[in-house]
Chains A and B, each alone.
Chain A
């Protein structure tokens, strides 16, 4: 290849990259613009939103957040959601972790059947069992309780969590476990002293993805929680926008408070989020 031709190719490369950057920027505006707008609206007054819907605020109104916090009863709904998230994540990591370890390392008779079961289970449409599940839960007195919802969430996230943790555990070297066993460690000790410290990034990824899913979950919470005291942030926010739908400033401030912790975690640990959410595949 002559120098001239190489130079021409080089120029073409740069031009084509400019093309890519232009269109990617348009897509970024499309994706981030609405979120930025939500942020701006949360610090405007309602009259300003009407007059100046797309521009920067002329005056910052932080009181929107206080109003939303009180009228949306965020202190209570945040607490409810945090309990659901922590409860589910702990149950999921413990029970799912045990199952994943068993599948990854023990390969007991029937392991292939378990894998196929989980694969099918993760694609079964939720409407097949949701209605009977509601009446079952009502019969068992599990409606409007934290543990009732945590049980459902743990079960529904099980296939994803077990698959992800299992593939993570398979990637770890077995030698350390064997060494610990030679030193006389029992199964539980191997699990707690060797597996968990080595596999924590996998557990963190699953915890983040499951936690995010519960924080944002709407459909199951809507059906299984009717008492306003027990509403998680999502269904409570839905009722809140139903009542104050015209108050764009306050509802935007409420939405912003709800997504602020999620956004902070996402920006800090985005590689894990993306990895977990895309490997899970079969979600949302």
Chain B
């Protein structure tokens, strides 16, 4: 959010500079010209994509709010049942609650592991000059691979016959056991994701005043102290912003789990995304699925508000 807000204020000063270019015309002509030039034409440029976006996102979202109060199979009439779906979701449907808990596990994994990888990688890379470009390209590369390919690679690496676990004498299927499957998928997703975080952190680190590092050196700071007292405070806004985004994304996860286990074994990796998919498209519970989608949105709203609140309390986010 921080970057866009910055760009927003730039634009106003730039566009204000444009306006003094007024042609000299008669007054009534002038106002019509102005209406065209400053209102009608700009909005003609804006409308096609905004209209499309509203039709694809906002309109179905509103429909979704309506469907969430109905018992709707996806075909035919929707019967209004008030808050029944939400009641079922939080008090009766154990699979929804379990799925939600798995999303929270997923979130805990993703606000730690990729961040540790990315902070480690970027702070190493920030100090290197020779080969910096090569390292950055190589470490970022997994991020551009399609999820189906990443999943195939890791299904191979995890295979119990001759995959990586067999190298240490572990011959069980990581993806085939309830207690390891979710973490195995999370690690594959992390392999794909952390390079992206690293590049974001690296860019932020380049904005830190080098004088601070010189000062730290003069004070005799070691590597860890330098990281903890100079680097981390310097990139804190980016780290916290990405934590917020990752927390939201953790409730949306679908691809990797659907491709690698489809929610199995025995429902052990069934997160909200998988549950909604099955409810909407396989179990003909579209109304219930819409209600689940709204709760995800509510969680995202809660996360954003929590960060906004912390920011108000004086945290520099």
Nearest CB in chain A: distance from B177 CB, A: 18
- Report the Cα distance A5→B12, complex, angstroms: 52
Known: A98-B48, A170-B11. 14 other contacts (CB 8 A): A20-B128, A24-B121, A27-B139, A38-B149, A99-B48, A104-B11, A106-B15, A107-B16, A114-B50, A119-B4, A123-B300, A125-B297, A241-B152, A281-B245
The reply on B145 being an interface residue by CB < 8 A is yes
The reply on B248 being an interface residue by CB < 8 A is yes
The reply on A230 being an interface residue by CB < 8 A is no
Beta-carbon contacts under 8 Å, B244-287 to A: 245, 248-249, 251-252, 254-255, 258-259, 272-273, 276-277, 280-281, 286
Known: A98-B49, A151-B56. A128 touches B280 (CB 8 A): no
Number of interface residues of B (CB under 8 A): 103
The reply on B160 being an interface residue by CB < 8 A is no
The reply on B141 being an interface residue by CB < 8 A is yes
The reply on B296 being an interface residue by CB < 8 A is yes
Known: A95-B52, A155-B55, A241-B148. A102 touches B61 (CB 8 A): no
Q: State the total of A-B contacts with C-beta under 8 angstroms.
A: 289
Known: A34-B153, A125-B293, A151-B56. A170 touches B10 (CB 8 A): yes
Per-residue interface assignment for chain A, residues 125 to 139, with 1 indicating a CB less than 8 Å from any chain B CB and 0 otherwise = 111111111111000
In the complex, residue of chain A having the shortest beta-carbon distance to the beta carbon of B241:
A281
The reply on B200 being an interface residue by CB < 8 A is yes
Beta-carbon contacts under 8 Å, A243-284 to B: 245, 248, 251-252, 255, 258-259, 262-263, 266-267, 270, 273-274, 277-279, 281-282, 284
The reply on B101 being an interface residue by CB < 8 A is no
Interface of B is mostly: helix
Nearest CB in chain B: distance from A113 CB, A: 10
Give residues in A with beta carbon < 8 Å to B: 9, 16-17, 20-21, 23-24, 27-28, 30-32, 34-35, 37-38, 41, 49-50, 53, 95-96, 98-99, 101-112, 114-115, 117, 119, 121, 123-136, 151-152, 154-156, 158-159, 162-163, 166-167, 170, 174, 178, 181, 187, 212, 215-216, 218-219, 222-223, 233-234, 237-238, 241, 245, 248, 251-252, 255, 258-259, 262-263, 266-267, 270, 273-274, 277-279, 281-282, 284
In the complex, residue of chain A having the shortest beta-carbon distance to the beta carbon of B55:
A155
**What A residues does B276 contact at CB under 8 A?**
127, 131
Known: A218-B147, A223-B281. A121 touches B53 (CB 8 A): yes
Known: A99-B45, A216-B146, A258-B146. A274 touches B199 (CB 8 A): yes
**Contact: B120 with A23, CB < 8 Å?**
yes
Interface of A is mostly: helix
Supply 20 A–B pairs (Cβ within 8 Å), ascending by A. A21-B128, A95-B52, A98-B49, A102-B41, A125-B293, A131-B280, A134-B280, A134-B281, A156-B56, A158-B50, A166-B11, A167-B10, A178-B18, A219-B254, A233-B146, A251-B152, A262-B146, A274-B140, A281-B3, A282-B245
